[in-house]
Amino acid sequence: MMSSLYLVFLLVPLVSAQTYRWGSCPKPMVQPNFNVTNYLGRWYEIEKLPASFERGNCIEANYALKKDGTIQVLNSQVYEDNKTEIAEGTAVVRDPRDAAKLGVSFSYFSPYSPYWVLTTDYESLSVVYSCTDILHIFHIEFAWILTRDRFPPAETVSSGKDLLTKEGINLCGMTATVQTGCED
């Protein structure tokens, strides 16, 4: 038990730029009959729980089907000095019976992280959640509200937040992503 507590105290500084909470991950429902082909294309990040790898503006994700059946993920963001950073990763459908529970990796050497599509209409809104348990003592979570439009109606964003709350996901710390002054 003492070694587990020691490990937790070692890990806490590593996750301080993330959203972490005590206890195990919530188990939200995901999009039934998820169609990955309809999901492909460009999505703009409108709001998110804090993530150390997302500190810029104009954040967007582009998904494209690769020849091997996996999904190419291109995430881009612009920093204050107008430098654009692009991160390329791969997403996979882990189980075709539960296709909305994807895994995403941005390095050949890193394991696939959860990328769960809680809801999408494929045309305007997508709500995505990711959570990793650490020894069932605490968890690191991410949540994103994505839209096909940089400036969606307030009702669209509100419905995404309502869904996250209904699924037991704490929105404390959720922030809006700056999408003004972006190039298309």
What would the pLDDT profile of 69-128 be if each residue is shown by its tens digit? 999 999 999 998 889 999 999 999 999 999 999 999 998 888 999 999 999 999 999 999
Domain span including residue 146: 2-176
Any domain includes 181: no
pLDDT value of position 166: 96
Helices then strands (H, E): number in the chain?
3, 10
Any domain includes 172: yes
The residue type of 152 is P
Any domain includes 124: yes
**Cβ contacts of 8 within 8 Å, gap of 6 or more:** 134, 135, 137, 138
Judged against a pLDDT cut of 90, whether residue 20 lies above it is answered with: no
Any domain includes 183: no
DSSP 115-149: EEEEEE-SSSEEEEEEEEEETTTEEEEEEEEEESS
In our burial notation (b when 16+ CB lie closer than 10 A, e otherwise), range 144-157 reads: bbbbbebebeeebb
Residue 168 near residue 26 (C-beta atoms within 8 A): yes
pLDDT value of position 14: 46
Any domain includes 107: yes
pLDDT tens-place string over residues 121-139:
999 999 999 999 888 899 8
CATH code for the domain in which residue 87 is found: 2.40.128.20
Residue 129 near residue 143 (C-beta atoms within 8 A): yes
Closest CA to 40 of 140, 131, 120: 120
Any domain includes 25: yes
What does pTM read for this prediction?
A: 0.88
Residue 161 near residue 67 (C-beta atoms within 8 A): no
Lowest mean pLDDT among 12-16, 22-26, 39-43, 168-172: 12-16
Task: Look at the chain and report how many structural domains it folds into.
Answer: 1
Any domain includes 86: yes
Rounded to an integer, what distance in angstroms lies between the CA atom of residue 15 and that of residue 139?
10
Mean pLDDT for the stretch of residues 30-54: 94
How far CA 51 is from CA of 43, 115, 116, 140, in Å, comes to 17, 14, 16, 10
Any domain includes 184: no
